[in-house]
Amino acid sequence: MSRNPHDRGRGRGRGRGDLSVPFHPRGRGTSPRGEFGAPRGGGGRGHGEQRLDPNKNVERIENKSAVEVKKKKPSERNPQRPGYGVMGKEVILWTNYFNLYSKKDLEFYRYSVDIAPDGRGRVPIGKRAKRIVQLVLEDHFLSHGYKIATDFKVNLISRDELDLEDEYIVTYRAEEEDVPAANATQYRCRIQFTGSLTLSELINHLTSTQAGLMFGSKDEIIQGLNIVLGHHPKSELSVVTIAANRHFGINASAVQDRVSLGAGLQVIRGFFMSVRAATARILVNVQIKNMAFYDQGPLDKLMTAFMSDNGPSKVSLLKFVKKLSIDATHIARTDSRGRRIPRIKRVQGFATKDDGRNMAHPPVVPQFGSGAKEVQFFLDDSPDGGGGKKGKKGVKAGPAPPSTGRYISVFDFFRENPTLPVVNVGGKENPSYLPAEVCEVRPGQPAGTKLSSSQTQRMIRFAVRRPLANAQSIVTSGAKLLGLEPTNATLNAFDINVPPKLITVPGRVLSCPAIKYFGTGVTMPRFGGWDMRSMKFVTKADLPSWTYLRISLQGNLNYWRIDQDFNSKLNELQDKLRELGISVNNYMQGVHITSNPQQIESEIDHWIHRFAINPKRPKLILVIIPEAVMTHVYNRVKYICDVKEGILNVCVLDSKFSRANPQYLANVGLKFNLKLGGRNHSLDPPKLGFIGQRKTMVVGIDVTHPSPGSSSKAPSVAGIVASIDEWLGQWPADMRAQPARQEMVADLDTMCKSRLLLWRERNKSLPENILVYRDGVSEGEYDVVLEQELPALRAACNAVYSAQDTKAGRPRITIIIVGKRHNTRFYPTKTEEADRGGNPMNGTIVDRGVTEARNWDFFLQPHSAIQGTARPAHYYVVYDQIFRDLRVPAQFPTAADALEDLTHNMCYLFGRATKAVSVCPPAYYADLVCARARCYLSGLFDPSPLSSPDTSSVGTGAAGASQTPDANLVTIHPRVKNSMFYV
């Protein structure tokens, strides 16, 4: 780059106005003769020359494909793109994709690897399986050199056709150990041919303009290319790979590559890499990834660092260190070359009373988590006992003749001064105890634990970077780590070349809609946001009675010296609500409680119940929460109010409410009005297209899953929201608990039926169209939505609509998948086309260049990112009955424009903000519903360190609880279920 990426220049460029776009000097737009991927126009030529024009050949094929689609009858399932959007100002953008070049006639062979169980019936997985595959290649296929690539699990890709034997015997030796063959485990492996793949077949498919053309081997070829590209980073000892395609350099030491998060964790910057099919070419998507890892080094230091930030709870400590891979350093063994042989163990737990209960001489453990001075094991004094056998060294508790041996503490055995709990590296039935002081944490172990708030803040500070800084890392550090620059030996052997140069794509910037308030109040957004000063809500709500519950912690700072100061702030809020248009009566006298953390839940329950049974029951409670116990108190308030008592509530932090300015109070007012049934702002009806005809219900669906650190009993929860009128201002919701990690909604028919009945109640008729925005579905599950969720939606409709409506094809349904967790990013190429943070302008839409002509999808960035690199949302139409029959209004050149413009404009209707949001409201609100469910189930999603040890993490006690939580825990009270209680 020609300028410092950390400059605070707000997008100011140099020279003739083009941004200094990062690309590797080797990157070139042309490719060697006979290779696939050379652009016919618009690519850079030679070293260092920047050409911003997108690939003209790609654009030509896209346009021709759009023409061919119009000649075909539109399909409902996986509909083809009905043309490309043309609305908006045209821009050219860089994107984090590289071109993949290869020989057109590249052919490779696919093989599957099957590893038989060992002598004890165990099937190797993870690192053991990876090592076995390595040994198969080293021992039997070394002559093929780099012409074989593997995912180190079950797949091999070869340039050559392999001469296979019926079976291969592999003597397993851990990579870091020099174990004699006589003491190693033998595995039997079978390798089977599964097919050959020719890249030219995929090329022909991607360059063909024939509408509806299917190619069954597409996914297999893409998978094969991913295996070839991923082989190098997975083979490198200095790189750790997470989930197949995220790669992290564990030896990174520079400040820009890793930062300490505290409490035993660090964040490392790595890179995601994936091969993607696009119109007329194959691309490689590379994106920055930041992940938390355990600190490598002495285990005792890691444990001490954790407890210094999280307290002395041994239950929490065990959850943090369990399953860690450690090197036991107290035994010094060397190989034939004099190098120390690591002793790799895994932390299975801490010492517990019932360890080794079936052993002849079980260990003596006074209590869970006992230290080295307290834990005793039986040391066999016979010549062949205890330390007589290699690798056992007396620490291991085991059967011994009663006539010899003695009990000895771990402390006396090691003659050191350990103060931490000993770790059990042998398991519950046959425990083996080690002091933490003799254990070294192995590098490159991802942290599956939930980050604390301070760690999260450090992670965000590290991850948030200006867009061009991320792009620079991708084409330099990323290209080196992934083996793209210089080209690694495996890619050379497969005749594949991926120059690390970002490609350019055409984009468009859609115009912002005008925001309407009460009466003649209209404002135009700037940079995706607007000011609502002097405006009233477009539809006011009534608040006949309300009160407050002010919560304080004993001994904590009181933000109001006297009650009168607090009352003055309440009056300010009340005045602001009236100013915004809410019809509000004076608040009722509330309650101020001062409690300690142990009693605070019961106090909240008691006083909210008192409000609920009061003859003058308030319609809404303002709850003022102490910041020190913010999450805990917030979760309890939401559960008691939403589920148990059925009272609307708004929570504020005491630290912020005490110094609230008019803008803050107005933001609180947004929530008041939405919860009470009002509409905060609206758009002109034409901006919502056919939605304004009052015949379409818009639906949002999402599912949330247990996160790291959740209880083994935590379920997944599905949430649904649906509009109730043509203004898209109110979105009542429903939710259901379902089996953990099940992405498809289990009870969708019942949930959808409830939304249809509510629409009929409010509109006296049923909608003719149902437009569904489905959040949280991965690409591999698109078809599952059609196979499972679409029939559930149909079942709900059949239960509500008349036979005549059903026969007439009503309602028409369209399902759009909303993706937020993809890895596509865009960067402006010119200063005047960048926003203040260096991102593309709000309203940027991309449906060319990185998409496939036959798919109907697009990327939309409607917002201005507050900081860092903006992430566009990805919209993919998997089912369509609405737009195929839509008579496109005059203002929309194509049906594609109609959908893109509608989705973009909806992003300005999120009621809780005065700015455009990154994803359209139905998906955003459904996500909020799922987040609210996590509050109700916080005891399972975020169990307290003070709770009883979970048998899955500690190994003591019995389960004692059903695996399926009580459905009533997420059943909203009838008094508030038809409100936007979740905002």
Cα separation of 30 and 38, whole Å?
5
Q: Are 376 and 364 in contact (CB under 8 A)?
A: yes
Gap between the Cα atoms of 668 and 569, Å rounded: 13
- For residue 65, being part of any structural domain is answered with no
Residues in the chain: 983
Answer with the one of 654, 675, 696 that is the final residue of a domain.
675
Average the pLDDT over 547-568 and give the result: 90
Q: Note whether 754 and 854 are same-domain residues.
A: yes
Nearest to 351 by CA among 323, 330, 327, 372: 372
User: Edge to edge, what strands does the sheet with 496-497 contain?
Assistant: 35-36, 101-103, 496-497
The gap from C-alpha 81 to its chain's centroid, in whole angstroms, comes to 28
Q: Looking at residues 649-663, what average pLDDT do you find?
A: 95
- Cβ(780)–Cβ(706) under 8 Å? no
Q: Is the pLDDT of residue 701 over 60?
A: yes
Q: Extract long-range pairs of 133-137: CB within 8 Å, 24+ residues apart.
A: 134/175, 135/170, 135/171, 135/172, 135/173, 136/168, 136/170, 136/189, 136/191
CATH number at residue 852: 3.30.420.10
Name the residue with higher pLDDT: 891 or 228: 228
Task: Note whether residue 925 is domain-resident.
Answer: yes
Task: Provide the pLDDT for residue 963.
Answer: 56
Q: What is the pTM of this model?
A: 0.89
With CA atoms as reference, report the closest residue to 209 among 17, 348, 64: 64
**546-553 and 591-595: which strand pairing?**
parallel
Residue 92 has pLDDT above 80, yes or no: yes
Is residue 585 a contact partner of residue 545, using CB atoms and an 8 Å limit? yes
Are 827 and 468 spatial neighbours (Cβ–Cβ below 8 Å)? yes
Give domain status of residue 981, yes or no. Answer: no
What are the Cα distances from residue 535, in Å, to 207, 577, 694?
Answer: 53, 12, 26
Highest mean pLDDT among 17-26, 294-303, 626-635, 663-672: 663-672
Joined tokens for residue 645: 């008592």
Please report whether residue 83 resides in a domain: no
The answer on 247 and 217 residing in a single domain is yes
Question: Residue type for 934, please?
Answer: R
Quick: pLDDT tens for 714-724.
999 999 999 99
Give mean pLDDT, residues 434-459: 89
> Which of 872, 870, 852, 869 shows the shortest CA–CA distance to 861?
872
pLDDT higher for 597 or 849?
A: 849
How far CA 131 is from CA of 345, 443, 889, 920, in Å, comes to: 16, 18, 61, 46
Q: Say yes or no to pLDDT of 13 above 50.
A: no
CB 510 within 8 A of CB 904: yes
Mean pLDDT of 950-975: 59
User: pLDDT value at position 52?
Assistant: 74
- The whole-angstrom separation of Cα 151 and Cα 173 is 19
CA angle 613, 618, 622 (to 5 degrees): 115
Question: Is 817 a member of any domain?
Answer: yes
Buried b (16+ CB within 10 A) or exposed e, 880-895: bbbbeebebeeebebb
Tens-digit pLDDT profile for residues 796-848: 999 999 999 999 999 999 999 999 999 999 999 999 999 999 999 999 999 99
Distance CA 242, CA 779 (A): 19
For residue 641, the 8-state DSSP code is: I
Average pLDDT over residues 629-647: 95
Same domain, 322 and 378: yes
Q: Which residues pair with 648 in a beta bridge?
A: 620
Q: Which stretch of DSSP H or E encloses residue 905? A: helix 895-906
- The mean predicted confidence, pLDDT, of the chain is 86
Residues 264 and 276 grouped into a single domain: yes
CA gap 681, 883 in Å, rounded: 27
Does 333 score more than 90 pLDDT? no
Q: What is the mean pLDDT of residues 70-77?
A: 86
For residues 331 and 351, state if they share a domain: yes
**Does residue 742 or residue 119 have the better pLDDT?**
742
- Other Cβ atoms closer than 10 A to 735: 25
Residue 204 has pLDDT above 90, yes or no: no
Q: What is the pLDDT confidence band of residue 387, given thresholds at 50, 70 and 90? A: very low
CA dist., res. 902 & res. 390, Å (int): 71
Q: Are 482 and 587 in the same domain? A: no
Given a cut of 90, whether residue 898 has pLDDT beyond it is: yes
Does 643 have pLDDT greater than 90? yes
In a domain, 976, yes or no: no
For the domain that residue 607 is a member of, what is the CATH number?
Answer: 3.40.50.2300
pLDDT at position 251:
78
What angle (nearest 5°) sits at the alpha carbon of residue 594, between those of residues 593 and 599? 95
Is residue 858 within a helix (H) or strand (E), and if so which, with residue range? strand 857-861
As a whole number of angstroms, the distance between CA 167 and CA 191 comes to: 7
| Best CA proximity match to 783, nearest among 878, 880, 884 | 878
- Which residues, including other chains, have CB under 8 Å from residue 243's CB and lie 6 or more apart? none
Give how far the C-alpha of residue 539 lies from the chain's centroid of Cα atoms, to the nearest Å.
36
Sequential DSSP letters for 512-580: PPPEE-STT-EE--BTTB---TT---SB--EES-EEEEEEEETTSPPS-SSHHHHHHHHHHHHHHHHHH
Nearest CA-CA partner of 616 in 588, 596, 575, 647: 588
Is 202 inside a domain boundary? yes
* Closest by CA position to 263, among listed 298, 232, 304: 304
Q: CATH number, domain at 433?
A: 2.170.260
Is there a single domain that holds both residue 626 and residue 641? yes
**Is 670 in the same domain as 759?**
no
- How distant, in Å, are the alpha carbons of 222, 673, 976 from that of 650? 49, 11, 13
Look at residues 441, 456, 483 and tell me which one is the last residue of a structural domain: 441
Same domain, 178 and 266: yes
3-state helix, strand, coil in the chain (%, to 5): 30, 25, 45
Same domain, 238 and 301: no
Secondary structure of residue 152 in the 3-state scheme: coil
Residue type, 289: K
Measured from the Cβ of residue 631, the count of other Cβ atoms closer than 10 Å reads 12
Six token digits for residue 381? 């004094």
- Give the residue carrying structure tokens 């008579």: 887
- Count of domains forming the chain: 4
- Tokens for 800? 């509500």
pLDDT at residue 174, rounded to an integer: 62
The tokens for 828 are 């402006």
Nearest to 228 by CA among 20, 42, 437, 489: 489
Identify the H or E element spanning 874. Answer: strand 873-880
pLDDT surpasses 80 at 551:
yes
Q: 259 with 307, same domain? A: no
pLDDT digits (tens, 9 = 90+) for 250-291: 875 555 688 999 999 999 999 999 999 999 999 999 999 999
pLDDT tens, position by position, 480-524: 999 999 999 999 999 999 999 999 999 999 999 999 999 888 999
When pLDDT is averaged across residues 905-919 and rounded to a whole number, the result is 97
Range of the domain at 192: 102-294+466-497
DSSP β-ladder status, 376-379 and 325-328 = unpaired
Relative to beta strand 155-158, strand 107-115 is: antiparallel
- Does residue 96 belong to any structural domain of this protein? no
Name the amino acid, one letter, at 703. V
| pLDDT at 341 exceeding the cut of 80 | no
Query: Cα(194)–Cα(188) distance, rounded to whole angstroms?
Result: 19
Indicate the residue among 640, 675, 710 that finishes a domain: 675
pLDDT tier, 959 (very low <50, low <70, confident <90, very high otherwise):
very low
Element holding 668 (H helix, E strand)? helix 662-675
Q: What angle do CA 686, 692, 696 make, to 5 degrees?
A: 140
pLDDT band at 788 (very low <50, low <70, confident <90, very high): very high
Residue-wise burial string across 71-91, b where 16 or more C-beta atoms lie within 10 A, e elsewhere: eeeeeeebbbbbbbbebbeeb
The encoded tokens of residue 918 equal: 């990154």
CB 566 within 8 A of CB 527: no
Note whether 214 and 287 are same-domain residues: yes
Structure tokens at 10: 């707000």
- Please give the residue that has the higher pLDDT: either 886 or 247: 247
Asked whether the beta carbons of 696 and 682 are under 8 A apart, the reply is no
